[in-house]
Structure 1
Amino acid sequence: MRTIAITVATLSLAAFASTVEAKEISKSHQFACTWGSDMAAGAQQSKLSGVSLYGARKQLQVRKFKQPWMRMTAMGITEQTYNSSSKLKPAAIKQIYYEQCIRHELAQR
């Protein structure tokens, strides 16, 4: 029971720290991290559903993107996701990607 309480406290602190860190970066960087985490989660969902990398890339080719950089970035995220041996759920991939992206943005300063 104590381990569960410690784990919950640790997760709460991690979520709080992530929120604080997110406020320290610009809205555009925060948007990019959120968008990238959505792409990674979608790629993981496709991978776990049995869609081939070729099929996932074809889906991205026909998708409309708001910014020119998004298509190639989505392709890269998808390829990296497929190359990973991870079997984590898409929600976990989304959270991990977002947290690492925020840390990367903060480290660039």
Structure 2
Amino acid sequence: MKILNIGKDFSADPIGRFRYPDGNRSGEVFREDFLKPALNSLKTHEKLEIIIDDQVESYGSSFLSEGFAGLVKYGFMTSQDFHNKIEIKYVNDDFEFYKKKIIEYVNSANYNSKPYIPTKS
């Protein structure tokens, strides 16, 4: 199992939806520059554990939606593949809310419903 720790590997203050204008802590940057490469490096039947509560205080809905549900919306993987390949982990019970929101956004995303157009400036 591979591990991606959002607070240590990405940002202690993840915020916003798009790279431009929201910056390098956005959901788009997380998905494209951290999450997708981690998923692409998985071996067959290997899972990615994503730690969401280490060094992070909270998440905005824009970050969670773009960062996680964007995988489905832009056709990188189905919601079923998401659940088969990714485990969302936390120790702090306050972060159960964010895990539930991630699952809600992923489950409600329509597979490949929108072409991905990078927002790089």
TM-score by length of 1: 0.38
Higher relative contact order (CA 8 A, sep 6+): 1
Which structure carries more helix by proportion? 1
Which structure carries more strand by proportion? 2
* Bigger radius of gyration: 1
